[in-house]
Amino acid sequence: MPKQRAKLVVGNWKMHGRLAENAALLEAVAQGAAELPESVRVGVCVPFPYLAQAQALLAGSRVAWGAQDVSEHTQGAYTGEVAAAMIVDFGSSLVVVGHSERRTYHHEGAELVAVKTQRALEAGLTPIVCVGETLEQREAGEMHQVVGEQIDAVLAKLSAQEAVRIVVAYEPIWAIGTGKSATSQQAQEVHAFLRERLVAKGAQDVPLLYGGSVKPENAEELFREPDIDGGLVGGASLKYKDFLAICEAAGAVSVTQ
């Protein structure tokens, strides 16, 4: 039987957390991650003010950390913005770009997401580029067109050497925070489509994460799919037992079957 790819599981805390509860969560995740097989990598993307706390509590652990957005600018008079270099200052290695909540509530378009990806790469961060369709787009049969345009806008701005350094997360918008995950077949189908785009760019080994109501109950089935290299986990990343159970599910399918 073929060996599965290594898996990556990243928590997206969104706008949740307070210092005291974060400390308990980060310590539990760091402790649990130490028991995971080498074939599973783990990360958490926290609100900007908690990057220092993540650094203090996760440094030296198996858990990487980072932010949920980055400015398109490198520095200057951009009140409220956070530059990639600032994120790096706190030892981060990850940053989410193009999350659907940013695309929807902050009107971030494909071009802006592509520029943010470039800024992240220039600073040495691994951008987790999110793509995904709405329910209306899926029902109208526009799913491939939508995610194709989203990924192409980013890949068009990158060299092949840069493209191999990104992570892509397929997050169908109808599955985010709704409790209604895509089935493993639905997710695999889009992942295979995205993989073709990456192959064409010479970036076939880019990890393709699935996001959208990943939980302990569905994680293993999703992660068994050949083009699902792990998960971007929202709600369940706030509960250490659930998050670690998802990481363990990744571990269970990332060894020789």
Tokens found for residue 134: 């709405």
Binding flag, residue 233, ligand PEP (CB under 6 A): yes
Residue 176 DSSP code: T
Binders of ligand PEP among 195-214, rule CB under 6 A? 211-214
Catalytic residue list contains 171? yes
Residue range at the interface with ligand PEP (CB under 6 A); choices 108-116, 135-143, 149-157, 170-178: 170-178
> Looking up tokens 């999110």, which residue turns up?
130
Tokens found for residue 18: 């307070």
Binders of ligand PEP among 45-64, rule CB under 6 A? none
Q: How far apart are CA 8 and CA 209, in angstroms?
A: 7
Which residue in 35, 17, 36, 37 sits closest to 25, CA to CA? 17
Beta strand segments in 5-105, E:
7-12, 40-45, 63-67, 94-97
Tokens found for residue 84: 């990639």
Binding flag, residue 14, ligand PEP (CB under 6 A): yes
Query: Which one, 127 or 212, has the nearer CB to ligand PEP?
Result: 212
Of the residues 101, 133, 171, 248, which is catalytic? 171
Among 87, 123, 228, 232, binds ligand PEP (CB under 6 A): 232
Binding flag, residue 30, ligand PEP (CB under 6 A): no
Among 72, 133, 162, 171, binds ligand PEP (CB under 6 A): 171
Query: Which residues does the annotation mark as catalytic?
Result: 99, 171
